[in-house]
Amino acid sequence: MKAKLTSGEIVELEKDCGCTHHDGPHWLHMDKVAAKLNRKLLDKGNTFGFAKEEAARLHAKELNMTSRGIVELINDES
């Protein structure tokens, strides 16, 4: 996964943990996990729970991106 920084530079996001079951930054892995769990709430018809948890997930993602100077995530998987 790559990211565009506030400077306009495109960088590769490096693995920042010792986990063996995912690549890339841990915060992005956890974002994907949370998105999957939130989707299960929606699938069960819990739209309020989904909306509440998605808002929290997206807020955390925004904080992670802002603190790292990231303005855009670039998915380079084909």
The model's pLDDT over 13-68, given as tens digits with 9 standing for 90+, comes to: 999 999 999 999 999 999 999 999 999 999 999 999 999 999 999 999 999 999 99
pLDDT at residue 76, rounded to an integer? 73
pLDDT at residue 77, rounded to an integer? 65
Cα–Cα distances (Å) from 63 to 11, 19, 41, 48, 50, in that order, read 18, 22, 23, 23, 20
pLDDT band at 69 (very low <50, low <70, confident <90, very high): very high
Domain ranges of the chain: 2-74
Overall pTM > 0.75: yes
